[in-house]
Chains A and B, each alone.
Chain A
Amino acid sequence: MYGSLWLALLAPVLFIPIVYFLGRRMGKLVSWVALVPLLYSTLYFVSLMGGIAESPVGEYFYWLPGIRFGLYADGLSLPIVLTVAVLSAIIAIYSQPYMVHSIHEQYHQENNKAHATYYSLYLAYVASMMGVVLSTNLFEFYLFFELMIIPSWALINVYGSGEREKIGLMYLLWSIVGAVAFVTGALSAYAQTGSFELVDLVRLTGSPWAAFIVASMLVGLCVKMALFGIHIWLPFAHAEAPTPISALLSPAMIGLAAYAIVRLLLPIQGTMDTWFALTLIWGLATMIYGGLMVLAQTDIKRLLAYSSMSQMGYLFVGIASATTLGVGGAMMHYVSHGLGKAALFLSVGAIMHQTGYRDIRKLGGLAARMPITAMVFLIGAMNISGIPPTMGFASKLMIFMGAFGPGVHEISTEFVLALVAILSTALTIGYMMWTMRRIFYGPIAEHLEDVKEASPLMTIPMILLCVLSILIGIYPKPIIDPIMEVVARLLM
């Protein structure tokens, strides 16, 4: 297919002014215009999938004295960036009916400008996420990483619910704290290696500063991943963002931090791998705390937010193991969590859209009224709980195989921790199925008697997500193989 990485990255950016000006005339229909560049990027990335393992694609441009602007897609970054592109294209379609409703609720009238601004910010947000994945040097990476914060903050701030302005600010400040920690490590790395290139980070191996550098970058990235202790912003931001944005924020964006840890920090020997027990405990704490908090929620979006936090714990456990299987599994789980969590958020959005309620105690028995939504929710739940035939099964299995790797030969701390990790997945299955029952089964409440299934513009994107996760679940080879190859090389 004709195209190049820079065009795939630039297409959404170029469409921002077009979408904005057309949107002021077209209103909600501009979502179809916004879909054009997203589809282009998606199709271009798909066309690369075939031969990516053998021939990675790199494009470099002169940018600043001594620094080039590079874009690089290999077996690891391509599946990740493809996930971002697919999710954003699917969610753009879903956004149309959802945002009509939510903009109407906010302004009590048609507001074309609100649609125009929404889709412009949406494109900016997606482009910066793709930039994070494709970037080749620390400067560029940090640029896109910071850039991501601004449109997402604006989206929460303008279109969110509840105390959206306060929560937007909180999101912003936490993100910046993370960015600052990250940049301290990144600049120190530059001072030590004399290069901003990501591939040169490996030169830090053996440096006396390696521990400091890795630790500060790790903390910066883990704020974004909302690991236990620095997760405060996540439940608020993800619960109050407009639902389509939650579906991007939650799995796609925060997981990028996991990708960054793999790409940037794991190749530096003698740091992450030596702290295995420590990072494993941190991952476990996140997993279990997030899971328990899910059980305590009554708000369906907040519930999903905590579940995202818990799933980030899984990703982190896989990465912490520093084994090919564990890390590869974590990256696979990025994809399956992306598809699964997006499906969950979209189905919850459909429920809110159709019933007007988000309090779980007011819901019940909806399976008969909204069968497609119920089905999607179930498949999403299976996906993040790791139940076949969804792809979550493969990814979770790999994470656990990896986590057992380092400590299986003796009864060590690591072994016990890995065991705890496996047992705690029962928690995910438990909370997902219990939530399923609370929303969709049981007697239907009187005020829900007249509820109907959501419009096709909402259900078709939801179904697409489920189809994808099952297809990849049945035949994961095209994604697993390239990921494993790159991960093996990074860990060497």
Chain B
Amino acid sequence: MVNNMLFLMILVAFLPAPLVYLMGKSLGKKVSWVVFAVMLGITVVLGWLIPVVEHEVLLEEYSWVASPVSLTFGLLADGLSVPMLFTFLFVYAGATLFSMPYMERRLSLGDIKDSNAQYAKFYTLFLLYGASVAGSMLATNLIEFFLFFEMALVFSWLLVFLYGYGDRRRNSMVYFIWTHLGGGALLVGILGVYWTVGSFEIADLAHIASYPNVLWIGVAITLGLFVKIGALGFHGWMPVTYSESPAPVSAVLGATSVMLSTYALARLLPPFQPVLQGISGWFMLWALLTILYAGVMALAQKDTKRLVAYLSMSQMNYCVLGIFTYVPYGVLGAVSYSISHGLAIGLLFLVSGALLYVTGTRDMTKMGGLSEKLPITLLATMAGFLTIGGVPPAVGFKSKFILLSGAFVRGFSSGWLELSVAILAGSLATLVTLGYEFRTVWRVYYGKLPEGIKEVARVPDTMIVAFVALGALSIVFGIWPALFTNALDVFIEHLFH
């Protein structure tokens, strides 16, 4: 194995950015293939690492800052980061592929000057955004994590700002302000950690619970991440940003929200267990309320992308519920569920993009009877819905079941609050999910084909390839979950000894 492999990986992700920009100016949309190749290459390496981290942890440290505080720039690949990052970049590569025909259409709408420079800018930002998320999932100290986390926010803000739909300046501002409020809370928590244990290293967090007055630190980190995962009350930015971004951007934004937040919750919060255990039941309740609220909102949507946005908000809060059970199956389920959710939400945003691409509308009331015209898109929608709704054979079924068994264990060992949350999450929330999913499939694909969209364009091949790849991974993980759960289990074992 190469010694500096993780560092090289980060370099490979960031360094081509100027190249992409320069090449893009002359190549135009073809430069997307460079971004695709980079993402796919790193994904393949990570896929090869999954079985490796079942046995060993890869840690690389480079001296970074010596004073006033000593900081190392570290990169850690273990059972948590590798499967999550692998799936994230897999979705990323799929979204890049999808973006090729999609962005061409987006740029031809007239509000943005269609020129090679636009492609150059878009793909540079797109690459940098993915690279930043990758960096934050490999970071070993909190400053490094926060740096990458903030970089990701800035690049994604630019993507929404430059290429969004509707009032994109206002929307992107809402996104920027909300996420920075969350970032601020996260920073407060990070500084709190430093003042308490005297180090920014994530590894040094392990014994934080033995210090006095650390409850507020745990709460600050949690609330900071709650913005990112769209917990009820902190979700103001989410539906707008998701629905008004170009589909490939929505797809990676959605995957980031769920995967990066769950990653951070699973990485940073377990050491706080002794102090947070007492109030974690309320966080579980918060997650349940979000699931139900967003689920009901999803039932009321007419806009396909708005619907997927609420659906995602609803489902990703299962991960919060799982993490705060503080039992092995709960955390294992939460991480697996975020992996399956990342896959599914990527897929569903791409599907909604494809529907926009071929019908020219996002309004579901204007759609119908598309099953004959778009069979593969229908299958992709079903695969996404089944994964998100936790229906077999997709991977969402297993992870949700594991997550809920964790919740029930916690419920029976804790009290009425936790038990009612577990039971309602297992029953009522599942019904709401399936309710809006089947309502959507019904509306869009069955019934009469409206006059307005009799002439449906063909879905381009690159889009189809992206659908099939994401759907297939969900089914493969679903049938053979040990592919990634073995690695995760090593992490969970270590966490709970």
The answer to whether B442 touches A146 (Cβ under 8 A) is no
Contact partners of A146 in chain B: CB under 8 A:
391-392, 397
Interface centre among A65, A142, A147, A180, by most chain B C-beta atoms within 10 angstroms, is: A65
Q: Return the CB mask of A133-177 against B: 1 if under 8 Å, else 0.
A: 000000100111011001000000000000001000100110011
The answer to whether A180 touches B427 (Cβ under 8 A) is yes
- Interface hits, B426-454 → A, CB 8 Å: 426-427, 430-431, 434, 438, 442, 446
Q: A65-B485, A146-B391, A191-B412 are in contact. Are A180 and B438 (CB under 8 A)?
A: no
Question: Quick check: is A423 within 8 A (CB to CB) of the other chain?
Answer: no
- Interface hits, B392-425 → A, CB 8 Å: 392-393, 397-398, 401-402, 404-405, 407-409, 411-413, 422-423
B412 in complex: contacting residue of A65, A147, A172, A192, CB < 8 Å: A192
**Which residue of B is nearest A183, CB measured?**
B426
Q: A169 CA to B431 CA in the complex, in Å?
A: 13
The A contact surface, by secondary structure, is: helix
Contact partners of A147 in chain B: CB under 8 A:
392-393
Question: Quick check: is B316 within 8 A (CB to CB) of the other chain?
Answer: no
Interface size class of B (residues with CB under 8 A): 35 or more
Question: Quick check: is B199 within 8 A (CB to CB) of the other chain?
Answer: no
Question: Quick check: is A455 within 8 A (CB to CB) of the other chain?
Answer: no
For chain A, the count of residues having a C-beta within 8 Å of the partner chain is 30
Q: A139 CA to B407 CA in the complex, in Å?
A: 15
Q: Return the CB mask of B244-288 against A: 1 if under 8 Å, else 0.
A: 000000000000000000000000000000000000000000000
The answer to whether A169 touches B404 (Cβ under 8 A) is no
The answer to whether B408 touches A143 (Cβ under 8 A) is no
Contact partners of B393 in chain A: CB under 8 A:
147
Q: A402 CA to B442 CA in the complex, in Å?
A: 47
The B contact surface, by secondary structure, is: helix
A187 in complex: contacting residue of B332, B404, B438, B486, CB < 8 Å: B404
Question: Quick check: is A397 within 8 A (CB to CB) of the other chain?
Answer: no
Question: Quick check: is B60 within 8 A (CB to CB) of the other chain?
Answer: no
Question: Quick check: is B492 within 8 A (CB to CB) of the other chain?
Answer: yes
**Which residue of B is nearest A149, CB measured?**
B391
Q: A169 CA to B440 CA in the complex, in Å?
A: 12
Chain A positions near chain B (C-beta within 8 angstroms)? 62-66, 139, 142-144, 146-147, 150, 165, 169, 172-173, 176-177, 180-181, 183-184, 187-188, 190-192, 194, 196, 209
- A191-B411, A191-B412 given. 9 additional CB < 8 A pairs? A64-B482, A139-B398, A147-B392, A173-B434, A183-B404, A183-B426, A187-B426, A190-B408, A192-B412
Instruction: List 22 A–B pairs whose Cβ atoms lie within 8 Å, in order of A's numbering.
Output: A62-B482, A63-B481, A65-B485, A65-B486, A65-B492, A139-B398, A143-B398, A144-B392, A146-B391, A150-B391, A150-B392, A172-B438, A176-B431, A176-B434, A183-B430, A184-B423, A184-B426, A187-B407, A187-B426, A191-B411, A191-B412, A209-B412
Chain B positions near chain A (C-beta within 8 angstroms)? 329, 332, 386, 391-393, 397-398, 401-402, 404-405, 407-409, 411-413, 422-423, 426-427, 430-431, 434, 438, 442, 446, 481-482, 485-486, 488-489, 492
